[in-house]
Amino acid sequence: MWFEYNLRCFFPRDAVVSADSLIRISDLNFSYDERTILKRISMEIPRGKLIAIMGNSGCGKTTLLRLIGGQLKPTRGELLVDGQSVPDMSHSELYAMRRRMGMLFQFGALFTDISVFDNVAYLMREHTDLTEEMIRDMVLMKLNAVGLRGANELMPSELSGGMARRVALARAIALDPMLIMYDEPFAGLDPISMGVIGQLIRKFNNALGATTLLVTHDVQEALLIVDYVYFVSDGQIVAQGTPDEIRASSDPFVHQFVYGESDGPVHFHYPATPFEDELMREGAHG
């Protein structure tokens, strides 16, 4: 309660969250030249909710974030953010939209040559007319919210992996975004740091009234904090539901993914001729 009360003081926001969708994706396809990455993706991301996009490596999860952020354009389909078509935006409209988005990149991606304080202050200095005194107060508030106000003078090289991720989280919320996107925020973290980051993601979502998209393959940690899950496999949404529905799913891919089974729709063996045939062929050459 103390955490959320202080966040509301630091980042005042209307407590009433609209029930409509912040992001609407309809029949979206994306390809690199002839290689199809995403096929017939349709999603609705309600305002104020924490939504996970899960799937194995290379299934198109991060590509989906890049499409939402306007770094890529879909080959086909509709993608609306706050009622606006992202692919049809001009450069100025796109940059204005991005100022309302926060992004935590995989492994944090802090600027290595500036301090913790300056990493969090960077967006404020670039995109606002706040005085340095106001920026100082706001940066310290954000760092305090992630438990690292006392580390504000350190350089990124002096931080542990978990601390660096928390600084990156403070930077992601620097401009009080309407949408926060996380790309594999748990990657490479120890269990304690993973739990801390998970709880911060949930608490920021609740306290700020923001909408959150969480791309991850860390199933157990994500299912503890999210409101809804989309599962992606081979570029398509193959399952969706609440955490309880996902845990109880009888879908073979979802069951294999959630419980970490070695074989199922995602095979252990790479496609090959039967091993016996391979041995016989080798024997024939002998």
Position 135 in a domain:
no
Tell me, what's the pLDDT at 52? Answer: 94
Decide if 238 contacts 251 (C-beta within 8 A).
yes
Tell me, what's the pLDDT at 267? Answer: 61
CA gyration radius, the chain: 21
Contacting residues for 225 by C-beta, under 8 A, at least 6 apart: 50, 198, 199, 201, 202, 214
Position 276 in a domain:
no
Give pLDDT < 50 ranges for the chain.
1-19
Structural domain including 13 reads: 2-100+177-242
Question: Distance between CA atoms of 63 and 10, rounded to whole angstroms?
Answer: 32
Position 151 in a domain:
no
Position 25 in a domain:
yes
Give the single-character DSSP code of 109: -
Tell me, what's the pLDDT at 162? Answer: 85
Position 219 in a domain:
yes
* CATH number of the CATH domain containing 44: 3.40.50.300
Pairing label, strands 84-85, 76-81: antiparallel
pTM for this prediction:
0.79
Tell me, what's the pLDDT at 158? Answer: 94
Structure tokens at 40: 């017939």
Decide if 181 contacts 215 (C-beta within 8 A).
yes
Tell me, what's the pLDDT at 280? Answer: 75
Q: 3-class SS at 140?
A: helix
* Number of domains present in the structure of the chain: 1
- Cβ-based burial of 232 (10 A; exposed 0-12, middle 13-18, buried ≥19): buried
Question: Distance between CA atoms of 109 and 130, rounded to whole angstroms?
Answer: 25
Structure tokens at 32: 């690199």
Residue of 81, 17, 75, 70 lying closest to 45 (CA atoms): 81
Position 111 in a domain:
no
Tell me, what's the pLDDT at 260? Answer: 72
Position 279 in a domain:
no
Give the single-character DSSP code of 33: T
Residue of 25, 11, 21 lying closest to 48 (CA atoms): 21
Position 46 in a domain:
yes
User: Tens of pLDDT along 234-277?
Assistant: 888 988 999 998 888 887 777 787 777 666 666 656 667 777 77
- Cβ-based burial of 59 (10 A; exposed 0-12, middle 13-18, buried ≥19): buried
**Residue for token pair 């407590």:** 15
